[in-house]
Amino acid sequence: MRVLIIEDDSETATFLVKALKESGHTADWASDGISGLELAREGAFDVLLVDRMLPELDGLSVIQTLRKEGNQTPVLVLSALGDVDDRVRGLKAGGDDYLTKPYAYAELLARVEALSRRTIPGEQTTRIAVADLVLDRLSHAVTRAGEPIALQPREYRLLEYLMKHAGQVVTRTMLLENVWDYHFDPQTNVIDVHVSRLRAKIDKAFDKPLIHTVRGAGYVIRDSE
């Protein structure tokens, strides 16, 4: 995956370039809005990481310009402004996701990977399968090895989100935002308990666990260890 980082702080940018490379991606860096816009126009990127406050041209204007020109590259907005309003403004400008500084790298990586997957066709499929676990998005029926599994509505949505991002790490914050629509960090790890409940229904009766905990990051649903 090719990532473009538009960020004026060179230390942050250097860290991100290095870390993304270690995670198996390639990353380019632009240090101001204008050069970032020019690089992004070349269109060879899978995801853009855009800081809101940039010299020359601010981040939201960069995104707005790209969207006006028909460029649909997924954008993750990075900002020190973390209010719900700021977030709404970032998404309105055409950002696909919003991450508040300071952030954990694992969080950023999970979101970048989730964004890049967004453009892959087939997201709208009605039937998602991971190994022998099958989720039917029309009937909301979930089966594993052909056996029906009864889920609460919220458990269903949690599983659906995990399966939509099968093979990708999904952080607790992403779950809280996308499954519950809460945009803040609760002090208790409420998500863990929900996931372990879901796990009990999906994995307990079967030999091969599908939902895995990724230490320091979140969860992933996948076929293999």
Partner 1 sequence: MTASKYSSPRATLRTTIFGLSALGVAAYLVVTAVMFAAIVWQLNRVFATDVLDSLSAEVRTLATIEESGGTDALRTTVQRLSRGSNARLYYLSGADGSKVAGNLAALPPRFAEEGSGGMFPYRFGEGPRAGERYAAGLAVALPDGGRLVVARDVEDQRQVIWWLRLLALAGFAAIALGGLGLGLVASRSVLSRVETMSEATSRIMVGELSGRLPLAGTGDEFDRLSESVNAMLARIEELMHGMKEVSDNIAHDLKTPVNRLRQRAEATLRTAKTAEELGAGLGQTIESADEIIKTFNALLLIARLEAGAIEETKTKLALAPILTDAVELYEPVAEEAGVRLFAERIADVSVDANRHLIGQAVINLIDNAIKYGRHSLQAGNGKETGSSDTQANIKVSLHQDSGRAVITVADNGPGISAKDRERAMERFVRLDKSRSLPGTGLGLSLVAAVARLHGGELRLDDNAPGLRAVLSLPV
Which spans of this chain sit near partner 1 (rule: CB under 8 A)? 82-85, 88, 100, 102, 104, 154, 180, 182-190, 193-194, 197, 216
Judged by CB, which is closer to partner 1: 120, or 150? Answer: 150
Judged by CB, which is closer to partner 1: 52, or 222? Answer: 52
CB of 175 to partner 1, least distance (A): 11
Cα separation, 116 vs 132, whole angstroms? 25
Q: Which SS3 state, helix, strand or coil, does residue 28 take?
A: strand
Show the beta-strand stretches assigned E in 65-183: 75-79, 97-100, 127-130, 133-136, 141-144, 147-149, 170-171
CB of 186 to partner 1, least distance (A): 6
CB of 193 to partner 1, least distance (A): 4
Report how far apart, in Å, the C-alpha atoms of 186 and of each of 172, 174, 182, 189, 191 are. 10, 13, 9, 7, 9
CB of 79 to partner 1, least distance (A): 13
Judged by CB, which is closer to partner 1: 71, or 100? Answer: 100
